[in-house]
Structure 1
Amino acid sequence: MVISVSCILSRRVLNSFDKSYLLRISSCKMSVKVGDTIPNIDLFEDNPTNKVNLAELAKGKKLILFAVPGAFTPGCSKTHLPGYLKKADDLKSKGVSEIVCVAVNDPFVMAAWGKDQNTKGKIRMLADPSAALAKKFGLTVDVPPLGGTRSKRYSMVVDDGKITSLQVEPDGTGLSCSLVESIKL
Protein backbone atom coordinates (compact mmCIF):
# COMPACT_ATOMS: atom_id res chain seq x y z
CA MET A 1 0.00 0.00 0.00
CA VAL A 2 1.28 3.45 -0.93
CA ILE A 3 0.59 6.17 1.64
CA SER A 4 1.36 9.72 0.70
CA VAL A 5 3.60 11.84 2.89
CA SER A 6 0.72 14.28 3.38
CA CYS A 7 -1.40 11.47 4.85
CA ILE A 8 1.38 10.48 7.23
CA LEU A 9 1.75 14.11 8.31
CA SER A 10 -2.01 14.45 8.69
CA ARG A 11 -2.19 11.32 10.81
CA ARG A 12 0.56 12.58 13.11
CA VAL A 13 -1.02 16.00 13.51
CA LEU A 14 -4.53 14.60 13.92
CA ASN A 15 -3.35 11.90 16.29
CA SER A 16 -2.01 14.55 18.63
CA PHE A 17 -5.32 16.45 18.60
CA ASP A 18 -8.23 14.09 17.99
CA LYS A 19 -7.69 10.35 17.75
CA SER A 20 -11.33 9.74 16.84
CA TYR A 21 -10.85 11.71 13.61
CA LEU A 22 -8.56 8.98 12.28
CA LEU A 23 -11.54 6.64 12.20
CA ARG A 24 -13.38 9.08 9.92
CA ILE A 25 -10.71 9.24 7.19
CA SER A 26 -12.13 7.36 4.21
CA SER A 27 -8.95 7.02 2.23
CA CYS A 28 -5.40 8.08 2.77
CA LYS A 29 -4.24 6.10 -0.24
CA MET A 30 -3.74 8.75 -2.84
CA SER A 31 -3.66 6.96 -6.15
CA VAL A 32 -3.46 9.99 -8.44
CA LYS A 33 -0.09 11.44 -9.34
CA VAL A 34 1.61 13.75 -11.80
CA GLY A 35 1.82 12.05 -15.20
CA ASP A 36 -1.51 10.23 -14.84
CA THR A 37 -4.24 10.55 -17.43
CA ILE A 38 -7.55 12.10 -16.40
CA PRO A 39 -10.12 9.32 -15.92
CA ASN A 40 -13.11 8.76 -18.15
CA ILE A 41 -15.71 9.87 -15.58
CA ASP A 42 -18.94 11.77 -16.04
CA LEU A 43 -19.53 14.81 -13.87
CA PHE A 44 -22.63 16.99 -14.04
CA GLU A 45 -23.18 20.65 -14.86
CA ASP A 46 -26.35 22.55 -13.89
CA ASN A 47 -28.63 19.47 -13.78
CA PRO A 48 -28.50 15.65 -13.71
CA THR A 49 -29.09 15.32 -17.46
CA ASN A 50 -26.10 17.47 -18.47
CA LYS A 51 -23.16 15.07 -18.27
CA VAL A 52 -19.64 16.35 -18.78
CA ASN A 53 -17.08 13.64 -19.44
CA LEU A 54 -13.87 14.78 -17.78
CA ALA A 55 -11.57 12.93 -20.20
CA GLU A 56 -13.35 14.47 -23.19
CA LEU A 57 -13.28 17.93 -21.60
CA ALA A 58 -9.51 17.69 -21.11
CA LYS A 59 -8.67 16.57 -24.67
CA GLY A 60 -6.42 19.05 -26.42
CA LYS A 61 -6.74 21.68 -23.69
CA LYS A 62 -4.93 22.97 -20.67
CA LEU A 63 -7.24 22.88 -17.65
CA ILE A 64 -7.02 23.83 -14.04
CA LEU A 65 -9.15 21.50 -11.97
CA PHE A 66 -9.64 22.15 -8.29
CA ALA A 67 -11.82 20.33 -5.79
CA VAL A 68 -13.43 21.50 -2.60
CA PRO A 69 -15.15 19.56 0.21
CA GLY A 70 -18.47 21.29 -0.40
CA ALA A 71 -20.33 24.12 -2.05
CA PHE A 72 -21.28 27.10 0.11
CA THR A 73 -18.90 26.07 2.91
CA PRO A 74 -16.98 28.99 4.48
CA GLY A 75 -13.44 28.20 3.30
CA CYS A 76 -14.66 27.30 -0.17
CA SER A 77 -16.91 30.34 -0.57
CA LYS A 78 -14.73 32.97 1.07
CA THR A 79 -11.24 31.93 -0.03
CA HIS A 80 -10.79 28.98 -2.39
CA LEU A 81 -13.29 29.67 -5.20
CA PRO A 82 -12.96 33.50 -5.05
CA GLY A 83 -9.19 33.22 -5.51
CA TYR A 84 -9.59 31.29 -8.76
CA LEU A 85 -12.37 33.62 -9.85
CA LYS A 86 -10.22 36.70 -9.25
CA LYS A 87 -7.29 35.27 -11.26
CA ALA A 88 -9.33 33.53 -14.00
CA ASP A 89 -8.57 36.08 -16.71
CA ASP A 90 -4.86 36.07 -15.86
CA LEU A 91 -4.73 32.25 -15.94
CA LYS A 92 -6.57 32.13 -19.25
CA SER A 93 -4.15 34.69 -20.71
CA LYS A 94 -1.37 32.20 -19.86
CA GLY A 95 -2.92 29.42 -21.96
CA VAL A 96 -5.45 27.85 -19.60
CA SER A 97 -8.52 26.90 -21.64
CA GLU A 98 -10.85 26.19 -18.73
CA ILE A 99 -10.95 26.35 -14.96
CA VAL A 100 -13.09 23.66 -13.36
CA CYS A 101 -14.33 23.49 -9.78
CA VAL A 102 -15.53 20.08 -8.55
CA ALA A 103 -17.36 19.19 -5.35
CA VAL A 104 -19.28 16.20 -4.02
CA ASN A 105 -22.64 17.92 -4.29
CA ASP A 106 -25.58 17.58 -6.63
CA PRO A 107 -25.56 19.60 -9.86
CA PHE A 108 -28.33 21.93 -8.67
CA VAL A 109 -26.28 22.95 -5.63
CA MET A 110 -23.18 23.52 -7.76
CA ALA A 111 -25.22 25.62 -10.23
CA ALA A 112 -26.65 27.71 -7.38
CA TRP A 113 -23.19 28.17 -5.87
CA GLY A 114 -21.80 29.25 -9.24
CA LYS A 115 -24.63 31.76 -9.62
CA ASP A 116 -24.04 33.04 -6.07
CA GLN A 117 -20.32 33.48 -6.78
CA ASN A 118 -20.82 34.84 -10.32
CA THR A 119 -18.60 32.21 -12.00
CA LYS A 120 -20.36 32.19 -15.39
CA GLY A 121 -17.85 32.32 -18.23
CA LYS A 122 -14.89 32.03 -15.87
CA ILE A 123 -15.16 28.78 -13.89
CA ARG A 124 -17.18 25.68 -14.68
CA MET A 125 -18.94 24.27 -11.64
CA LEU A 126 -19.10 20.47 -11.94
CA ALA A 127 -20.83 18.12 -9.53
CA ASP A 128 -19.40 14.75 -8.48
CA PRO A 129 -22.55 13.60 -6.63
CA SER A 130 -21.42 10.04 -5.86
CA ALA A 131 -17.77 11.02 -5.27
CA ALA A 132 -16.79 8.90 -8.30
CA LEU A 133 -13.91 11.22 -9.25
CA ALA A 134 -12.73 11.66 -5.66
CA LYS A 135 -12.73 7.87 -5.20
CA LYS A 136 -10.93 7.25 -8.50
CA PHE A 137 -8.21 9.71 -7.47
CA GLY A 138 -8.03 8.22 -3.95
CA LEU A 139 -8.81 11.67 -2.56
CA THR A 140 -11.85 11.13 -0.36
CA VAL A 141 -12.32 12.28 3.18
CA ASP A 142 -15.22 11.50 5.48
CA VAL A 143 -16.62 14.72 6.92
CA PRO A 144 -19.77 13.79 8.89
CA PRO A 145 -20.94 17.38 9.42
CA LEU A 146 -21.00 17.84 5.61
CA GLY A 147 -22.92 14.64 5.00
CA GLY A 148 -20.17 12.02 4.88
CA THR A 149 -17.79 11.26 2.04
CA ARG A 150 -16.40 14.36 0.36
CA SER A 151 -13.45 15.22 -1.81
CA LYS A 152 -10.19 16.29 -0.29
CA ARG A 153 -9.22 19.80 -1.27
CA TYR A 154 -6.72 19.78 -4.15
CA SER A 155 -5.75 21.53 -7.36
CA MET A 156 -4.16 20.27 -10.53
CA VAL A 157 -3.10 21.37 -13.96
CA VAL A 158 -4.12 19.04 -16.78
CA ASP A 159 -2.53 19.39 -20.22
CA ASP A 160 -4.20 17.40 -23.02
CA GLY A 161 -5.54 14.88 -20.53
CA LYS A 162 -2.30 14.45 -18.52
CA ILE A 163 -1.84 15.74 -14.99
CA THR A 164 1.22 18.01 -15.00
CA SER A 165 0.90 19.55 -11.54
CA LEU A 166 -0.89 18.35 -8.40
CA GLN A 167 -1.29 19.95 -4.99
CA VAL A 168 -3.24 18.09 -2.28
CA GLU A 169 -3.95 19.70 1.08
CA PRO A 170 -2.05 17.77 3.78
CA ASP A 171 -5.13 17.47 5.99
CA GLY A 172 -7.52 17.12 3.06
CA THR A 173 -9.57 20.20 3.86
CA GLY A 174 -7.18 23.04 4.77
CA LEU A 175 -6.35 26.08 2.68
CA SER A 176 -2.66 26.16 1.86
CA CYS A 177 -1.18 24.41 -1.16
CA SER A 178 -4.33 24.11 -3.34
CA LEU A 179 -5.04 27.84 -3.57
CA VAL A 180 -4.66 29.65 -6.89
CA GLU A 181 -1.34 31.16 -5.77
CA SER A 182 0.18 27.65 -5.71
CA ILE A 183 -0.80 26.69 -9.26
CA LYS A 184 2.23 25.63 -11.30
CA LEU A 185 1.51 26.19 -14.98
Structure 2
Amino acid sequence: MPRLLPSAARFHRSVSTTTLHLRLRTRRSSLFPRLFASSASAPAVATTISVGDNLPDANLSYFGSDGELQTVTISDLTKDKKAIFFAVPGAFTPTCSQKHLPEFVEKDGELHAKGVDTIACISVNDAFMMHAWKKDLNIRDEVLLLSDGNKEFTRALGVELDLSYKPMGLGVRSRRYALLAEDGVVKVLNLEDGGAFTFSGAKDLLKVL
Protein backbone atom coordinates (compact mmCIF):
# COMPACT_ATOMS: atom_id res chain seq x y z
CA MET A 1 0.00 0.00 0.00
CA PRO A 2 1.48 3.44 -0.89
CA ARG A 3 2.42 5.72 1.99
CA LEU A 4 0.18 8.73 2.54
CA LEU A 5 1.47 12.25 2.90
CA PRO A 6 1.04 13.68 6.45
CA SER A 7 -1.89 15.88 5.42
CA ALA A 8 -3.57 12.98 3.62
CA ALA A 9 -2.98 10.69 6.61
CA ARG A 10 -4.69 13.21 8.94
CA PHE A 11 -7.63 13.46 6.57
CA HIS A 12 -7.89 9.65 6.37
CA ARG A 13 -7.92 9.35 10.19
CA SER A 14 -10.57 12.07 10.45
CA VAL A 15 -12.83 10.34 7.94
CA SER A 16 -12.34 6.97 9.68
CA THR A 17 -13.17 8.44 13.11
CA THR A 18 -16.30 10.15 11.79
CA THR A 19 -17.46 6.94 10.14
CA LEU A 20 -16.93 5.02 13.41
CA HIS A 21 -18.94 7.58 15.39
CA LEU A 22 -21.79 7.40 12.89
CA ARG A 23 -21.85 3.62 13.09
CA LEU A 24 -21.92 3.66 16.91
CA ARG A 25 -24.67 6.29 16.93
CA THR A 26 -26.73 4.22 14.49
CA ARG A 27 -26.31 1.08 16.61
CA ARG A 28 -27.30 2.92 19.81
CA SER A 29 -30.38 4.50 18.23
CA SER A 30 -31.48 1.11 16.95
CA LEU A 31 -31.11 -0.36 20.43
CA PHE A 32 -33.20 2.27 22.25
CA PRO A 33 -36.56 1.41 20.62
CA ARG A 34 -36.07 -2.24 21.59
CA LEU A 35 -35.21 -1.28 25.16
CA PHE A 36 -38.22 1.00 25.49
CA ALA A 37 -40.47 -1.57 23.82
CA SER A 38 -39.36 -4.21 26.33
CA SER A 39 -40.04 -1.84 29.21
CA ALA A 40 -43.49 -0.92 27.87
CA SER A 41 -44.55 -4.52 27.43
CA ALA A 42 -43.41 -5.69 30.89
CA PRO A 43 -46.31 -7.11 32.96
CA ALA A 44 -47.73 -4.88 35.67
CA VAL A 45 -46.91 -5.78 39.26
CA ALA A 46 -49.98 -7.05 41.11
CA THR A 47 -51.12 -4.81 43.95
CA THR A 48 -52.46 -6.07 47.24
CA ILE A 49 -56.09 -5.45 48.16
CA SER A 50 -56.68 -2.60 50.62
CA VAL A 51 -59.45 -1.24 52.81
CA GLY A 52 -61.91 0.67 50.63
CA ASP A 53 -61.32 -1.49 47.57
CA ASN A 54 -64.02 -3.52 45.88
CA LEU A 55 -63.45 -7.25 46.14
CA PRO A 56 -62.61 -8.83 42.78
CA ASP A 57 -65.12 -11.37 41.59
CA ALA A 58 -64.04 -14.99 41.32
CA ASN A 59 -65.47 -18.49 41.05
CA LEU A 60 -65.06 -20.72 44.09
CA SER A 61 -66.25 -24.27 44.73
CA TYR A 62 -67.42 -26.39 47.65
CA PHE A 63 -69.42 -29.49 48.47
CA GLY A 64 -72.90 -28.72 49.78
CA SER A 65 -74.68 -30.52 52.60
CA ASP A 66 -76.21 -32.82 49.96
CA GLY A 67 -72.74 -33.93 48.89
CA GLU A 68 -72.99 -32.24 45.49
CA LEU A 69 -70.23 -30.02 44.13
CA GLN A 70 -71.35 -26.39 44.02
CA THR A 71 -69.86 -23.22 42.57
CA VAL A 72 -70.36 -19.73 43.92
CA THR A 73 -68.99 -16.29 43.11
CA ILE A 74 -67.69 -13.65 45.46
CA SER A 75 -70.43 -11.31 44.22
CA ASP A 76 -73.05 -13.92 45.18
CA LEU A 77 -71.70 -13.95 48.73
CA THR A 78 -71.31 -10.19 49.15
CA LYS A 79 -74.08 -8.38 47.26
CA ASP A 80 -76.16 -6.45 49.81
CA LYS A 81 -74.53 -8.53 52.55
CA LYS A 82 -71.94 -8.29 55.28
CA ALA A 83 -69.42 -11.09 54.75
CA ILE A 84 -66.28 -12.35 56.43
CA PHE A 85 -63.63 -14.13 54.39
CA PHE A 86 -60.59 -15.62 56.04
CA ALA A 87 -57.84 -17.48 54.24
CA VAL A 88 -55.54 -20.24 55.40
CA PRO A 89 -52.32 -21.46 53.77
CA GLY A 90 -53.58 -25.03 53.71
CA ALA A 91 -56.15 -27.55 54.89
CA PHE A 92 -54.96 -29.99 57.55
CA THR A 93 -51.96 -27.81 58.44
CA PRO A 94 -51.43 -27.40 62.22
CA THR A 95 -52.23 -23.72 62.84
CA CYS A 96 -55.14 -23.72 60.41
CA SER A 97 -56.68 -26.88 61.90
CA GLN A 98 -56.01 -26.22 65.56
CA LYS A 99 -56.52 -22.46 65.86
CA HIS A 100 -57.68 -20.38 62.90
CA LEU A 101 -60.67 -22.32 61.57
CA PRO A 102 -61.89 -23.63 64.97
CA GLU A 103 -62.00 -20.09 66.36
CA PHE A 104 -64.37 -18.94 63.63
CA VAL A 105 -66.53 -22.03 64.13
CA GLU A 106 -66.66 -21.30 67.86
CA LYS A 107 -67.51 -17.61 67.39
CA ASP A 108 -69.97 -17.95 64.50
CA GLY A 109 -72.98 -17.17 66.74
CA GLU A 110 -71.41 -13.96 68.03
CA LEU A 111 -70.40 -12.89 64.54
CA HIS A 112 -73.89 -13.47 63.15
CA ALA A 113 -75.33 -11.55 66.10
CA LYS A 114 -73.20 -8.59 64.98
CA GLY A 115 -74.91 -8.65 61.59
CA VAL A 116 -72.55 -10.88 59.61
CA ASP A 117 -74.42 -12.83 56.92
CA THR A 118 -71.65 -15.09 55.63
CA ILE A 119 -68.50 -16.58 57.15
CA ALA A 120 -66.25 -18.34 54.66
CA CYS A 121 -62.84 -19.96 54.86
CA ILE A 122 -60.81 -19.89 51.63
CA SER A 123 -57.84 -22.02 50.64
CA VAL A 124 -56.11 -22.88 47.38
CA ASN A 125 -56.68 -26.57 48.14
CA ASP A 126 -59.11 -28.38 45.84
CA ALA A 127 -62.76 -28.86 46.80
CA PHE A 128 -62.25 -32.53 47.70
CA MET A 129 -59.50 -31.65 50.17
CA MET A 130 -61.61 -28.89 51.72
CA HIS A 131 -64.58 -31.25 52.06
CA ALA A 132 -62.41 -33.89 53.75
CA TRP A 133 -61.05 -31.25 56.12
CA LYS A 134 -64.55 -30.12 56.98
CA LYS A 135 -65.60 -33.68 57.84
CA ASP A 136 -62.42 -34.30 59.83
CA LEU A 137 -63.10 -31.27 62.04
CA ASN A 138 -66.82 -32.12 62.27
CA ILE A 139 -67.88 -28.73 60.92
CA ARG A 140 -71.52 -28.35 59.93
CA ASP A 141 -72.74 -25.05 58.47
CA GLU A 142 -71.03 -22.63 60.83
CA VAL A 143 -68.39 -21.77 58.24
CA LEU A 144 -68.45 -22.23 54.47
CA LEU A 145 -65.24 -23.91 53.29
CA LEU A 146 -64.41 -22.66 49.81
CA SER A 147 -61.84 -23.92 47.34
CA ASP A 148 -59.86 -21.41 45.31
CA GLY A 149 -58.09 -24.24 43.54
CA ASN A 150 -57.11 -22.16 40.51
CA LYS A 151 -55.89 -19.32 42.76
CA GLU A 152 -58.19 -16.96 40.87
CA PHE A 153 -59.28 -15.03 43.95
CA THR A 154 -55.91 -15.27 45.71
CA ARG A 155 -54.07 -13.81 42.72
CA ALA A 156 -56.66 -11.07 42.24
CA LEU A 157 -56.18 -10.02 45.86
CA GLY A 158 -52.39 -10.02 45.46
CA VAL A 159 -51.87 -12.29 48.48
CA GLU A 160 -49.98 -15.24 46.99
CA LEU A 161 -47.48 -16.91 49.30
CA ASP A 162 -44.63 -18.87 47.72
CA LEU A 163 -43.77 -21.80 49.99
CA SER A 164 -42.06 -23.86 47.29
CA TYR A 165 -38.76 -23.61 49.18
CA LYS A 166 -40.20 -25.66 52.06
CA PRO A 167 -39.69 -29.45 52.03
CA MET A 168 -43.42 -30.27 52.42
CA GLY A 169 -44.22 -29.55 48.77
CA LEU A 170 -46.67 -26.73 49.55
CA GLY A 171 -45.96 -24.69 46.41
CA VAL A 172 -47.82 -21.39 46.08
CA ARG A 173 -50.48 -20.77 48.72
CA SER A 174 -52.35 -17.80 50.18
CA ARG A 175 -51.19 -15.51 52.93
CA ARG A 176 -53.30 -15.80 56.04
CA TYR A 177 -55.85 -13.02 56.40
CA ALA A 178 -59.30 -12.12 57.62
CA LEU A 179 -61.42 -9.43 56.01
CA LEU A 180 -64.84 -7.93 56.45
CA ALA A 181 -66.70 -6.76 53.36
CA GLU A 182 -69.98 -4.89 53.12
CA ASP A 183 -71.73 -5.06 49.76
CA GLY A 184 -68.42 -6.11 48.22
CA VAL A 185 -66.33 -3.28 49.68
CA VAL A 186 -63.48 -4.12 52.06
CA LYS A 187 -64.11 -2.50 55.44
CA VAL A 188 -61.55 -4.37 57.55
CA LEU A 189 -58.43 -6.21 56.38
CA ASN A 190 -56.17 -8.10 58.76
CA LEU A 191 -53.42 -9.41 56.48
CA GLU A 192 -50.76 -11.49 58.17
CA ASP A 193 -47.07 -11.71 57.34
CA GLY A 194 -47.04 -14.98 55.42
CA GLY A 195 -48.68 -17.75 57.40
CA ALA A 196 -48.40 -16.13 60.83
CA PHE A 197 -51.49 -16.12 63.04
CA THR A 198 -51.45 -13.00 65.20
CA PHE A 199 -54.46 -10.80 64.39
CA SER A 200 -56.62 -12.57 61.79
CA GLY A 201 -58.83 -14.55 64.15
CA ALA A 202 -62.55 -14.30 64.85
CA LYS A 203 -61.87 -12.54 68.15
CA ASP A 204 -59.97 -9.82 66.30
CA LEU A 205 -62.91 -9.13 63.98
CA LEU A 206 -65.38 -9.12 66.86
CA LYS A 207 -63.45 -6.18 68.31
CA VAL A 208 -64.22 -4.02 65.28
CA LEU A 209 -67.80 -5.09 64.57
**TM-score strictly above 0.5:** yes
Equivalent residue in structure 1 for 2:189, among 147, 166, 171? 166
| Aligned equivalents of 1:88, 1:152: Cα separation in 2 | 22
* CA deviation map 1:15-74 (0-9, x unaligned): xxxxxxxxxxxxx96520111112110011128952110112111111110000000100
CA contact (8 A) 2:89 2:174 kept: yes
Q: Which residue of 2 aligns with 1:175?
A: 197
CA contact (8 A) 2:77 2:118 kept: no
| Aligned equivalents of 1:146, 1:79: Cα separation in 2 | 22
CA contact (8 A) 1:48 1:107 kept: no
SS in 1 for 2:110: helix
Equivalent residue in structure 2 for 1:114, among 123, 134, 153? 134
| Aligned equivalents of 1:29, 1:41: Cα separation in 2 | 16
| Aligned equivalents of 2:104, 2:181: Cα separation in 1 | 16
Q: Which runs of 5+ in 1 are unaligned?
A: 1-27
Equivalent residue in structure 2 for 1:44, among 61, 64, 73? 61
CA-CA distance at 1:177 after TM superposition: 1.4
Task: Give the root-mean-square deviation of aligned CA atoms.
Answer: 1.7
CA contact (8 A) 2:57 2:153 kept: no
CA contact (8 A) 2:163 2:171 kept: yes
CA contact (8 A) 1:140 1:151 kept: yes
Alignment of 1:31-180 (within 5 A): 31-46=48-63, 49-144=69-164, 145-170=168-193, 172-180=194-202
Across the two proteins, how many residue pairs are aligned to each other?
157
CA 1:78 to 1:121, structure 2 compared with 1: closer, same or farther past 3 Å? Answer: same
| Aligned equivalents of 1:87, 1:70: Cα separation in 2 | 21
Among all aligned residue pairs of Structure 1 and Structure 2, give the percentage whose two residues are the same amino acid.
37
Q: Which structure has the larger Rg?
A: 2
Amino acid at match of 2:56: P
* CA deviation map 1:96-118 (0-9, x unaligned): 11100000100011111112222
CA 1:48 to 1:166, structure 2 compared with 1: closer, same or farther past 3 Å? Answer: farther
Which structure has the higher relative contact order (CA within 8 Å, separation 6+)?
1
CA 1:90 to 1:135, structure 2 compared with 1: closer, same or farther past 3 Å? Answer: same
Q: Which runs of 5+ in 2 are unaligned?
A: 1-44
CA contact (8 A) 1:29 1:139 kept: no
| Aligned equivalents of 2:93, 2:72: Cα separation in 1 | 24
Runs of 4+ residues over 3 Å off in structure 1: none
Amino acid at match of 2:74: L
| Aligned equivalents of 1:64, 1:146: Cα separation in 2 | 29
